[in-house]
Chains A and B, each alone.
Chain A
């Protein structure tokens, strides 16, 4: 059977011109910024600097917090914390800077602490420059984990659906991951160990979207009597509600974390919102893009698809499409 692939490509480009251009520009800018400036790493990767200050237990904690916050703001980076806790007769304050400070900076901050808190020099008992907790090993391991996941799910998709689905999972996961990394690079978001967990979460969401769409196509036996382009249109159209519901739920959760979480977590929580946006964009734009542009060129496989459910009451394709 001859199919006019060029026509479906052109149609797809025509309908989604703006989305494709925006995504392409965004990806190019993100990759460029990421490659030139790298990522902004938090203390887990960059190491940190910590000052410990001992003050009397009768000290006014609120006043200390106010002054310490001022010092952190004056001399700090983006991921700084100040913690106060009681040990025996003393209250100890730990101020953590997200980078390792040189000696001049250390002296500057020590002087600021002494002046602001009106304490003896000896009370600033400890200053340490701590090396990174997480090594580059984590980068490599996370990349391997995602790779293994993509390979496993693609193999599964190949056998359950077809080669086109496997290809779709691979390409959409790569584009999704690059988009998420681009957001981090462009917005200069602080990257910690949680960021890696979110990359894994993003890939799981993208694969989830793919599987939801393919299941829709498979369960309605759409591909057996139409081409790839209309099959994916049908799949996306009928899965749209579920995919939107899922990703909007993740987005709301991220928003709640941004609103309620402590300041240091707000940056991390922003990433939850971004994974929802990227996963939804990939499901609604990238998957059909991959199918329409790349997969329509593939030879249509013979599918052994059965319509699930009872025949007399199964949902009619046209009915579902409404």
Chain B
């Protein structure tokens, strides 16, 4: 590589790095408006979702009781556990992470506590309140009278929602699907055809019933949410979100126990106020310490390695905020730090091998070429180990381990990219300026070997 080209590439990468650093760490308002409105840019770091142990969370407390308080149930504990599991599923299916569901008893009353970490806006709070707070008990009848219902929540196996494109009309329909536990029951009830009326609570839902022409034998119905007319004469077209809300209301209505919200409050991190800030300070000190070490030990090549590590940091933050399932709690921070340390170690390994080869009477560029070649398999191997370990952790029930898993699953890819590909390019660029003076790299002849 020529000096001119190397100078150009260094300038280019410096500009890219500055842009990435700003995008990673700085929040700002755009200096121009769009349609009179000023938008704010959120940095990668602030977009990373944090777990409830190091950030605020929201807690909802529900009083749990049997739907009919006069009915005693011998398997009450099982029903409670089933309700808790379903609640966790419902809230998680809405895209919220770090959901924990626990329970406690006070006097004769039972309470279920749903804690959702990383709630960002007031809309999120309201969305969860609406999600769990408005359960709708579903019942099915072949007459307009709810008393004649032939099936209820206990007969429903699953509820879903979706969109379907009808090529004959060119329109898209949003629908709710209901799957019955016992296909025979709905088949018998709809045998003669007629109109199927669905009630949510005591109210008739989905217009004036669904016309059934022949018996439903597969135990599955899909209800198209067609347009309807509002009181002011305007047309209301239900969206996919509406279908989802209906489906969730029905799912909450299927819970074995009925829930009444008694409290909802934001709570601070388990580790106390500002715990995330203190952890960031510790990490910043650590990163600076590694930079100082690299620069002192390898001088100019240490600087190149630091340049490379800054790319690792910014690309890692970009990836962690891009993947929707990733949320970081304390264990996740440990994973990030571990991945960073392994990348530093890979760089040190390359430099130490290069030093050994140089001291073994090789020229600088040959020493680096050999060092990189020898480090290739080892770096791949070590990072593969992290990826496999991370992948296994993703299936753990604990949010903490999942968070750790995401960090060590995702970041090794960046680690390999930086310690092999980008570092290789940077070394080439550096050697265009200096491929003879080993003192600038602290590779003294007669110095201590690796």
Chain B associates with chain A: yes
Please give the residue numbers on chain A whose beta carbons come within 8 Å of chain B beta carbons, in ascending order: 47, 81, 83-85, 87, 92, 94, 96, 126-135, 137-138, 141-142, 145, 148-149, 152-153, 160, 192-194, 196-198, 200-201, 203-205, 207-208, 211-212, 215, 219, 238, 241-242, 245-246, 249-250, 252-253, 256-257, 259-265, 268, 272, 308-310, 313-316, 319-320, 322
Can you list 13 A-B contacts (CB < 8 A)?
A: A94-B267, A142-B398, A142-B401, A192-B400, A201-B335, A208-B382, A208-B385, A261-B275, A262-B272, A264-B271, A310-B370, A316-B360, A319-B356
Q: Give Cα A250–Cα B289 distance, bound, in whole angstroms.
A: 12
B278 within 8 A of A: yes
Set of chain B residues within 8 Å of A148, measured between Cβ atoms: 392
With A130-B103, A204-B386, A261-B278 as known contacts, state yes or no: A197 contacts B370, CB within 8 Å. Answer: no
CB distance A128 to B111 under 8 Å?
yes
Q: Give Cα A126–Cα B267 distance, bound, in whole angstroms.
A: 14
Closest residue of chain B to A240, judged by CB?
B450
Closest residue of chain B to A138, judged by CB?
B398
Set of chain A residues within 8 Å of B61, measured between Cβ atoms: 128
CB distance B400 to A193 under 8 Å?
yes
CB distance A264 to B290 under 8 Å?
no
Q: Give Cα A135–Cα B101 distance, bound, in whole angstroms.
A: 12
CB distance B389 to A200 under 8 Å?
yes
A-B pairs with lowest CB-CB distance, top 9: A193-B400, A197-B331, A197-B404, A83-B268, A256-B282, A260-B282, A262-B272, A193-B398, A194-B331
Out of B268, B286, B331, B396, which one reaches A85, CB within 8 Å? Answer: B268
With A256-B286, A260-B279, A264-B270 as known contacts, state yes or no: A198 contacts B345, CB within 8 Å. Answer: no
Distance in Å from the Cβ of A160 to the closest Cβ of chain B?
A: 8
Q: Give Cα A238–Cα B111 distance, bound, in whole angstroms.
A: 60
Tell which of B242-250, B309-317, B371-379 binds the partner.
Answer: B371-379
Q: How many residues of B contact A (CB 8 A)?
A: 76
Set of chain B residues within 8 Å of A313, measured between Cβ atoms: 357, 360, 362, 366, 370
Out of B268, B373, B393, B449, which one reaches A322, CB within 8 Å? Answer: B449
Out of A130, A207, A308, which one reaches B373, CB within 8 Å? Answer: A308
CB distance B289 to A131 under 8 Å?
no
Set of chain A residues within 8 Å of B334, measured between Cβ atoms: 194, 197-198, 201, 272
B113 within 8 A of A: yes
Q: Give Cα A313–Cα B61 distance, bound, in whole angstroms.
A: 70
Q: Give Cα A193–Cα B405 distance, bound, in whole angstroms.
A: 13
Interface set, chain B 250-291, CB cutoff 8 A to A? 263, 265-275, 278-279, 281-283, 285-286, 289-290
Closest residue of chain B to A127, judged by CB?
B106
Q: Give Cα A309–Cα B356 distance, bound, in whole angstroms.
A: 13
A193-B400, A197-B403, A215-B377 known; 10 new pairs, CB 8 Å cut-off, are A134-B397, A134-B398, A138-B401, A194-B329, A196-B400, A198-B331, A204-B408, A249-B290, A262-B274, A264-B270
CB distance A308 to B377 under 8 Å?
yes
- Count CB-based A-B contacts (< 8 Å): 212
B348 within 8 A of A: yes
Set of chain A residues within 8 Å of B370, measured between Cβ atoms: 309-310, 313-314
Set of chain A residues within 8 Å of B396, measured between Cβ atoms: 138, 141-142, 145, 196
With A200-B401, A309-B374, A319-B449 as known contacts, state yes or no: A207 contacts B385, CB within 8 Å. Answer: yes
Distance in Å from the Cβ of A61 to the closest Cβ of chain B?
A: 10
CB distance B272 to A83 under 8 Å?
yes
Set of chain A residues within 8 Å of B349, measured between Cβ atoms: 242
With A197-B404, A242-B348, A264-B270 as known contacts, state yes or no: A219 contacts B393, CB within 8 Å. Answer: no
CB distance B266 to A212 under 8 Å?
no
Q: Give Cα A225–Cα B97 distance, bound, in whole angstroms.
A: 55
CB distance A262 to B381 under 8 Å?
no
Q: Give Cα A87–Cα B29 distance, bound, in whole angstroms.
A: 29
CB distance A201 to B104 under 8 Å?
no
Out of B274, B348, B393, which one reaches A197, CB within 8 Å? Answer: B393
Q: Give Cα A268–Cα B386 distance, bound, in whole angstroms.
A: 22
Set of chain B residues within 8 Å of A133, measured between Cβ atoms: 100, 102
Distance in Å from the Cβ of A99 to the closest Cβ of chain B?
A: 13
Set of chain B residues within 8 Å of A241, measured between Cβ atoms: 352, 450
Closest residue of chain B to A210, judged by CB?
B385
CB distance A249 to B268 under 8 Å?
no
Set of chain A residues within 8 Å of B151, measured between Cβ atoms: none
Distance in Å from the Cβ of B341 to the closest Cβ of chain A?
A: 5
Distance in Å from the Cβ of B282 to the closest Cβ of chain A?
A: 4
Set of chain B residues within 8 Å of A265, measured between Cβ atoms: 271, 275, 278-279, 330
Set of chain A residues within 8 Å of B273, measured between Cβ atoms: 83-84
Closest residue of chain B to A160, judged by CB?
B381
With A246-B345, A313-B357, A313-B366 as known contacts, state yes or no: A83 contacts B401, CB within 8 Å. Answer: no
CB distance A126 to B398 under 8 Å?
no
Set of chain A residues within 8 Å of B395, measured between Cβ atoms: 141, 145
Distance in Å from the Cβ of B435 to the closest Cβ of chain A?
A: 15
Distance in Å from the Cβ of B164 to the closest Cβ of chain A?
A: 38
CB distance A315 to B401 under 8 Å?
no
CB distance A315 to B388 under 8 Å?
no
Closest residue of chain A to B275, judged by CB?
A262
With A207-B385, A261-B282 as known contacts, state yes or no: A130 contacts B378, CB within 8 Å. Answer: no
Closest residue of chain A to B363, judged by CB?
A313
CB distance A81 to B271 under 8 Å?
yes
Interface set, chain B 400-428, CB cutoff 8 A to A? 400-401, 403-404, 408
CB distance B266 to A152 under 8 Å?
no
Set of chain A residues within 8 Å of B289, measured between Cβ atoms: 252
Q: Give Cα A181–Cα B378 distance, bound, in whole angstroms.
A: 29
